[in-house]
Structures are given as structure tokens and as C-alpha cells.
């Protein structure tokens, strides 16, 4: 499964990218606004750091506006993917953009039916929001499972990006469900490699080794 960083924080992206862990980045208006910097500059910086796809979201709500903005955004860098909200206007826009070869990520997907329509109009990616479904007492993982089956049944090439990931279990569950990509908040990514038993085990190894070395030294004296 590919891992994307769900953040617009350039420093965070640099650090994780250096470890060879990320295959792409997703941003949205909330994440960009949080950084308080010029949108275009931020997206271009991210696109330079990361080789893989970088999603930048349109802010227009009508299809004409979205198409115009998408053409502009896709000119910012070769690896820009245009994020389009899952609305009727959004579907109209994706239908036009996919024919022009502009890569799209249909976002705010909360049902299998929405995912099916996005795939039908040629979306490159769909982003089901797991955490927000869990928040209202439904299952985000079930949606990923349904989308997987649906795309496999009909041979859609649209890739599933599990978004609104809140904890490590979400990542493990979507990987087991055959999801193509998980986009993970920058702050959550270290939690994937951290484990208290790893730390405890390492502390024991270090202590035992130091005692052994001390003993060897005393023997040699």
C-alpha cells in the first residue's frame, strides 16, 4: 500500500520524505490555511520535495470555475493532482478534466455510490473519509471494503485513497482491505514505527551490552 502524507507543512514533509516513507502528499484548503503561507508557493515547494502525486484542491464550487482552476493548478508542477469535491458540479468537472488527461482526486466521498460515480467519470483517485464516518457512528473501513470490491468487479482503474485517517489501526485495517493508498496526517506517521515494547526491548539490550562490555574490560585488566 502506498503512503501519502496528509499535510501542507513543508518541514514535516521534508523529514518524512528523507526516510523514504512517502509516495505522495494530499493537501486541502484547511491544511493550506493552517500554514498561513501563499498557496501556490507551498504547493510548488511540496512538489519539488516529493516525486509522487501531490493533491491540491480547487476552491470554486461551479464546474466551469473548477475546470478553469484545475487547468491552472495542473500547470504548477508535473506531479499536481487536482482535488475536486464530490458534488454534481464536481462530477461534471472531472468528466471534462479526465478527457484532457488532468489527474483528479475526488474528495469528500462518504458512500460507495459516490465512489462509483467518481470512477465512472474517470477520476484518477477517490478519497473516502474514514474518521468522519466513524464520528457519526458508521464504519469508514466498510466503505473502503465496498469501494475495493466495486472497483474490482468492474475493472475501474481509479485508486482508493483512505483519508481522514485518525489512528494506526485505521492504517492497518485499510491495508488489509486492499486499499491502494492511505493518506496519513504528518503527526500520525511516526506512530506507525513507534512501539513501547520496541523502546523497552532496546533499553534492555543496551543495558545488558554495557554490563557485558564492562565485564570484558575488567577481565582484560
- Assess 105 for contact with ligand G3P (CB under 6 A): no
Query: 131 vs 178, which CB is nearer to ligand G3P?
Result: 131
Binding mask 2-31 for ligand G3P (x = CB under 6 A): ----x-------------------x-x---
Pairing of strands 54-57, 24-26: parallel
Pairing of strands 2-6, 181-185: parallel
- Assess 82 for contact with ligand G3P (CB under 6 A): no
Stretch that binds ligand G3P, among 11-19, 65-73, 127-135, 151-159 (CB under 6 A): 127-135
Catalytic residues: 83
Question: Which residues 159-178 are close enough to bind ligand G3P by CB under 6 A?
Answer: 163-164
Write out the DSSP string of 90-158.
Answer: HHHHHHHHHHTT--EEEEEE-SHHHHHHHHHTT-SEEEEBHHHHHHTTS-HHHHHHHHHHHHHHHT--P
Question: Which residues 181-210 are close enough to bind ligand G3P by CB under 6 A?
Answer: 183
- Assess 45 for contact with ligand G3P (CB under 6 A): no
CA pair distance 87, 142, nearest whole angstrom: 22
The residues that bridge with 184 in the sheet, in sequence order, are 5
Which residues of this protein are in contact with ligand G3P, per CB under 6 A?
Answer: 6, 26, 28, 129, 131-132, 163-164, 183
Amino acid at each position: 500500500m502506498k503512503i501519502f502524507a496528509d499535510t501542507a507543512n513543508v518541514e514535516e514533509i521534508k523529514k518524512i520524505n528523507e526516510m523514504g516513507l512517502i509516495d505522495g502528499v494530499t493537501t486541502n484548503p484547511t491544511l493550506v490555511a493552517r500554514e498561513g503561507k501563499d498557496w501556490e508557493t507551498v504547493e510548488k515547494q511540496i512538489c519539488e520535495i516529493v516525486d509522487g502525486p501531490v493533491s491540491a484542491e480547487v476552491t470554486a464550487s461551479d464546474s466551469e470555475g473548477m475546470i478553469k482552476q484545475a487547468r491552472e493548478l495542473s500547470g504548477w508542477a508535473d506531479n499536481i493532482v487536482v482535488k475536486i469535491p464530490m458534488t454534481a458540479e464536481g462530477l461534471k468537472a472531472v468528466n471534462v478534466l479526465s478527457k484532457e488527461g488532468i489527474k483528479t482526486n475526488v474528495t469528500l466521498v462518504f458512500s460507495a455510490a459516490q465512489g462509483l460515480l467518481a470512477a465512472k467519470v474517470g477520476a484518477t483517485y477517490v478519497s473516502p473519509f474514514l474518521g468522519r464516518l466513524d464520528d457519526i457512528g458508521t464504519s469508514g473501513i466498510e466503505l473502503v471494503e465496498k469501494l475495493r470490491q466495486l472497483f474490482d468487479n468492474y475493472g475501474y482503474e481509479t485508486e482508493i485513497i483512505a483519508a481522514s485517517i485518525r489512528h494506526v489501526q485505521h492504517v492497518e485495517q485499510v491495508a488489509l482491505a486492499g486499499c491502494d493508498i492511505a493518506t496519513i496526517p504528518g503527526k500520525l506517521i511516526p506512530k506507525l514505527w513507534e512501539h513501547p515494547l520496541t523502546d523497552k526491548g532496546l533499553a534492555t539490550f543496551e543495558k545488558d551490552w554495557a554490563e557485558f562490555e564492562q565485564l570484558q574490560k575488567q577481565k582484560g585488566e
